[in-house]
Amino acid sequence: MIKNYLKIAWRNLVKNKAYSIINVGGLALGMAVTLIIGLWLADELSHDNYFSQKDRMAQVLQSQTFNQNVGTGPAIPRPLEKALRDGYMDNFKYLIMSSWTNDLYLKFNETSISRPGNFMQREAPEYLELEILKGEKDGLREINSIMLSESTAEALFGKQDPIGKVVKASNQYDLMVTGVFKDLPYNNSFRDIDYLIPWDKYVSIQEWVKNAEDNWGNNSFQMFVQLADNVSMDQVSSIIKDVKKDLNEDTAEFNPQLFLLPMKDWYLRSNFENGKQVGGRIKYVWLFGVIGAFVLLLACINFMNLSTARSEKRAKEVGIRKSIGSQRNQLINQFLSESFLVVLFAFLMAIFIVVLSLTGFNELARKEIDFPWASTKFWLVSLGFVLFTSLLAGSYPALYLSSFRPVDVLKGTYQSGKYSGLPRKILVVLQFTVSVAFIIGTVIVMQQINFAKNRPVGYDREGLIQIPTFSQDFSGKTDLMRTEFLNSGAIVEMSTSSSPTTRIWSNRSGYTWEGKPEGFQEDLAWTEVSPEYAKSLNLKIVEGRDFSREFASDSMAVLINETAKRYLGMENPVGMLLKDDDTEDPDPPLKIIGVVEDMIAQSPYEPVKQGMYVFDRFDNFSYYNMRLNPNQSASRNIAVIEQVFKEHFPDIPFEYDFVDAEYAEKFAAEERVGTLSGIFTALAILISCLGLFGLTSFVAEQRTKEIGVRKVLGASVFNVWNMLSKDFLKLVTISCFIAVPISYYVMNGWLQEYPYRVILKWWIFALAMIGALGITMLTVSFQAIKAARSNPIKSLRTE
Partner 1 sequence: MLLQLNNIFKWVNSGGQRIFLLKDINLEVQEGEFISVMGPSGSGKSTLLNVIGMLDGFEEGEYTFLDEPVHSLKEKHRANLYKEYIGFVFQQYHLLDDLTVQENLEMPLLYKKIKGTERKAMVADMLDRFNIVGKKDLFPAQLSGGQQQLVGIARALISSPKLILADEPTGNLNSSQGEEIMALFKQLNDEGVTIIQVTHSEKNAAYGSRIINLLDGRMI
Q: Which residues bind partner 1 (CB under 8 A)?
A: 1, 4, 7-8, 11-12, 15, 316-317, 319-327, 330, 406-407, 410-412
Burial of 359 (0-12, 13-18, 19+ CB in 10 A): exposed
Dist. CA 456–CA 401, nearest whole Å: 62
Please identify, using beta-carbon distances, which residue of 290 and 320 lies nearer to partner 1.
Answer: 320
- Phi (first) and psi of residue 662, to 5 degrees: -60, -40
For 244, the enclosing helix (H) or strand (E) is helix 243-247
Cβ neighbours of residue 318 closer than 8 Å, sequence gap 6 or more: 331, 401, 402, 404, 406, 409
Alpha helix (H) ranges present in 310-375?
311-323, 328-365
Q: How far is the CB of 415 from partner 1 (least distance, A)?
A: 15
Please identify, using beta-carbon distances, which residue of 342 and 564 lies nearer to partner 1.
Answer: 342
Neighbours of 414 (CB within 10 A): 18
Q: How far is the CB of 12 from partner 1 (least distance, A)?
A: 6
Q: How far is the CB of 704 from partner 1 (least distance, A)?
A: 20
Dist. CA 355–CA 358, nearest whole Å: 5
Q: Quick one: how many helices (H) and strands (E) in the chain?
A: 26, 26
Q: How far is the CB of 743 from partner 1 (least distance, A)?
A: 44
Q: How far is the CB of 432 from partner 1 (least distance, A)?
A: 33
Q: How far is the CB of 324 from partner 1 (least distance, A)?
A: 5
Dist. CA 138–CA 124, nearest whole Å: 9
Q: How far is the CB of 16 from partner 1 (least distance, A)?
A: 11
Q: How far is the CB of 796 from partner 1 (least distance, A)?
A: 22
Please identify, using beta-carbon distances, which residue of 101 and 402 lies nearer to partner 1.
Answer: 402
Please identify, using beta-carbon distances, which residue of 316 and 786 lies nearer to partner 1.
Answer: 316
Please identify, using beta-carbon distances, which residue of 417 and 517 lies nearer to partner 1.
Answer: 417
Q: How far is the CB of 406 from partner 1 (least distance, A)?
A: 5
Q: Which amino acid is at 351?
A: I
Please identify, using beta-carbon distances, which residue of 321 and 424 lies nearer to partner 1.
Answer: 321
Dist. CA 168–CA 143, nearest whole Å: 14
Alpha helix (H) ranges present in 585-716?
634-648, 659-665, 668-702, 704-712
Please identify, using beta-carbon distances, which residue of 204 and 330 lies nearer to partner 1.
Answer: 330
Please identify, using beta-carbon distances, which residue of 325 and 476 lies nearer to partner 1.
Answer: 325
Q: How far is the CB of 322 from partner 1 (least distance, A)?
A: 8
Burial of 474 (0-12, 13-18, 19+ CB in 10 A): buried
Please identify, using beta-carbon distances, which residue of 151 and 327 lies nearer to partner 1.
Answer: 327
Please identify, using beta-carbon distances, which residue of 20 and 733 lies nearer to partner 1.
Answer: 20
Q: How far is the CB of 728 from partner 1 (least distance, A)?
A: 30
Burial 755-791 (b: 16+ CB within 10 A, else e): eebbebeeebbeebbebbbebbbebbbebbbebbebe
Dist. CA 36–CA 291, nearest whole Å: 11
Q: Provide the terminal-to-terminal Cα distance of the chain, rounded to the nearest Å.
A: 35
Alpha helix (H) ranges present in 149-205?
150-157, 199-205
Please identify, using beta-carbon distances, which residue of 11 and 182 lies nearer to partner 1.
Answer: 11
Neighbours of 745 (CB within 10 A): 9
Dist. CA 571–CA 466, nearest whole Å: 34
Please identify, using beta-carbon distances, which residue of 54 and 322 lies nearer to partner 1.
Answer: 322
Please identify, using beta-carbon distances, which residue of 406 and 594 lies nearer to partner 1.
Answer: 406
Checking DSSP bridges between strand 173-181 and strand 166-169, what pairing results, if any? antiparallel
The shares of helix, strand and coil residues in the chain, as percent rounded to the nearest 5, are 50, 15, 30
Cβ neighbours of residue 650 closer than 8 Å, sequence gap 6 or more: none
Contacts 24+ apart (CB under 8 A), 85-90: 87/243, 88/239, 88/240, 88/243, 90/228
Q: How far is the CB of 8 from partner 1 (least distance, A)?
A: 5
For 596, the enclosing helix (H) or strand (E) is strand 590-596
Please identify, using beta-carbon distances, which residue of 16 and 521 lies nearer to partner 1.
Answer: 16
Q: How far is the CB of 417 from partner 1 (least distance, A)?
A: 15
For 747, the enclosing helix (H) or strand (E) is helix 717-751
Burial 671-681 (b: 16+ CB within 10 A, else e): bebbbbbbbbb
Q: How far is the CB of 327 from partner 1 (least distance, A)?
A: 5
Please identify, using beta-carbon distances, which residue of 338 and 522 lies nearer to partner 1.
Answer: 338
Please identify, using beta-carbon distances, which residue of 8 and 729 lies nearer to partner 1.
Answer: 8
Burial 198-229 (b: 16+ CB within 10 A, else e): bbbbbbebeeebeebeebbebbbbbbbbbbee
Dist. CA 641–CA 95, nearest whole Å: 44
Q: How far is the CB of 329 from partner 1 (least distance, A)?
A: 9
Q: Would you list the DSSP string of 270-321?
A: --EETTEE--STHHHHHHHHHHHHHHHHHHHHHHHHHHHHTHHHHHHHHHHH
Checking DSSP bridges between strand 145-149 and strand 195-198, what pairing results, if any? antiparallel
Cβ neighbours of residue 481 closer than 8 Å, sequence gap 6 or more: 474, 494, 624, 644, 648
Q: How far is the CB of 339 from partner 1 (least distance, A)?
A: 16
Say if CB 436 and CB 747 are below 8 A apart: no
